[in-house]
Amino acid sequence: MQKSAEQNAAPRFYHVLIQQDLLGGWTLVREWGNQGSAGRVKKQHFINRDEAEHALLESRDDQLDRGYKVVFLEGFYH
């Protein structure tokens, strides 16, 4: 997701994804910051995919409410 640049500032990004770990669990990865600079990363572990997907959608919806726009979507259709 991306948020338009405010006055004299780089656009902000928010990247969210889920990935399966080697033990069968799932990790929600969220990364955010200003484009062109290092972002912050937060990871959250879930036992099953449904919980991870639910958390991903909640995170996405929170950011949409804050003015971010989806600019890229891959591999997840709901």
What CATH fold (topology level) applies to the domain 2-65?
Answer: q64v53_bacfr protein fold (2.20.140)
Asked if residues 52 and 46 have their Cβ atoms less than 8 Å apart, the reply is yes
- Per-residue pLDDT tens, the chain, 78 aa: give them: 666 666 677 888 999 999 999 999 999 999 999 888 888 999 999 999 999 999 999 999 999 999 988 877 666 555
The alpha carbon dihedral of 30, 36, 38, 40 has a sign of negative
Joined together, the tokens standing for residue 22 give 């080697």
Q: How far is CA 54 from CA 9, 26, 34, 35, in A?
A: 32, 12, 26, 27
Where do the domains of the chain lie? Answer: 2-65
